């Protein structure tokens, strides 16, 4: 059974369809990529899945349960967590305290001693081991991205949504994030990710969904999607950086 199911999901703003009749599934343990040019509906799609927006039409299900229109905190409690492109940790808190917020008040909800141990484990998992005492405000962009991921994982999600986690990173830093995401895959984390760094998304994803003007125009294995003439014309041909890096 699919972990996430979208069926004919639509959302319009002032008569402009941001998402139009989008349907797809994400199976447990998959890493599925979503790509498309700016304004194609990717962020709106994430907002619909996580409850930040309510769809005008269509259904959203998690593990067979209809979660359409649920509030964000209820969606999180059910097991869907996301990261944001523009990371904003609690600047006045340490890295460890940032992760503890998710662990103590998210879906997991543990006693503080247990939560602290798990937060330390998550910081180590994302490459911030031994840096829990560091103020979040003093972290580099790369380390703030790592912290954002640890904060999301702290809620013990069934499904992790990543919104341009690699934005603003150098090629070397991007490779580092890719290594981390592959590690999460090996641990069984199910991931749906939006990413503008096309070569990274294609290398990581088992399956890719392409949006344009709010509609799904392609879906399939990365190589097939990258070779799709419609995708090349609408997206890859507009200077996205090529299908795969050599």
pLDDT per residue as tens digits for the range 58-87: 999 999 999 999 999 999 999 999 998 888
Q: Is residue 98 part of a domain?
A: yes
Secondary structure (3-state) at 111: coil
End-to-end CA separation in angstroms for the chain:
36
Q: Is residue 81 part of a domain?
A: no
Residues 156-212 have pLDDT tens digits of 899 999 999 998 889 999 999 999 999 999 988 999 999 989 999 999 999 999 999
What is the chain's length?
A: 246
Q: Is residue 140 part of a domain?
A: yes
pLDDT confidence tier of residue 245, bands split at 50, 70 and 90: very low
* Residue 122, domain extent: 88-157
Residues of the chain with pLDDT > 70, as a percent, come to: 93
The mean pLDDT value for 16-23 works out to 95
pLDDT value at residue 244: 46
User: Per the structure, how many domains does the chain have?
Assistant: 1
Question: Residue 153, Cα to own-chain centre: how many angstroms?
Answer: 11
Task: Choose among 202, 228, 206: nearest CA to 217.
Answer: 228
Q: Is residue 115 part of a domain?
A: yes
pTM of the predicted model as reported, rounded to 2 decimal places:
0.89
Q: In this structure, what token pair is assigned to residue 89? A: 């940790």
Q: Is residue 213 part of a domain?
A: no
Q: Is residue 118 part of a domain?
A: yes
Long-range pairs of 176-182 with CB within 8 A, sequence gap ≥ 24 = 176/127, 176/142, 177/145, 178/203, 178/204, 180/125, 180/126, 180/127, 180/146, 180/149, 181/31
pLDDT, mean over the chain: 90
Q: Is residue 53 part of a domain?
A: no
Q: Is residue 23 part of a domain?
A: no
């Amino acid at each position: 059974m699919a972990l996430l199911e979208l069926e004919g999901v639509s959302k319009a703003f002032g008569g402009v369809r941001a998402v139009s009749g989008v349907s797809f599934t994400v199976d447990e343990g998959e890493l599925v990529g979503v790509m498309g040019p700016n304004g194609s509906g990717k962020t709106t799609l994430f907002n619909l899945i996580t409850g930040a927006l309510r769809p005008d039409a269509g259904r959203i299900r998690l593990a067979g349960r209809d979660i359409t229109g649920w509030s964000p905190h209820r969606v999180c409690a059910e097991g869907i967590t996301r990261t944001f492109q523009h990371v904003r940790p609690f600047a006045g808190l340490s890295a460890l305290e940032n992760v503890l917020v998710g662990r103590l008040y998210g879906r997991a909800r543990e006693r503080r001693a247990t939560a602290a141990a798990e937060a330390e484990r998550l910081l180590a998992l994302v490459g911030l081991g031994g840096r829990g005492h560091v103020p979040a405000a003093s972290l580099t962009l790369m380390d703030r991205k790592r912290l954002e991921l640890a904060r999301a994982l702290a809620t013990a999600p069934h499904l992790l949504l990543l919104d341009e986690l690699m934005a603003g990173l150098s090629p070397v830093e991007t490779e580092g994030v890719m290594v981390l995401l592959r590690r999460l895959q090996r641990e069984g984390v199910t991931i749906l990710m939006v990413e503008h760094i096309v070569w990274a998304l294609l290398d990581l994803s088992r399956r890719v969904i392409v949006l344009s003007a709010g509609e799904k125009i392609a879906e399939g294995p990365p190589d097939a999607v990258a070779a799709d003439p419609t995708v090349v014309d609408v997206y890859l041909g507009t200077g996205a950086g090529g299908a795969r890096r050599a």
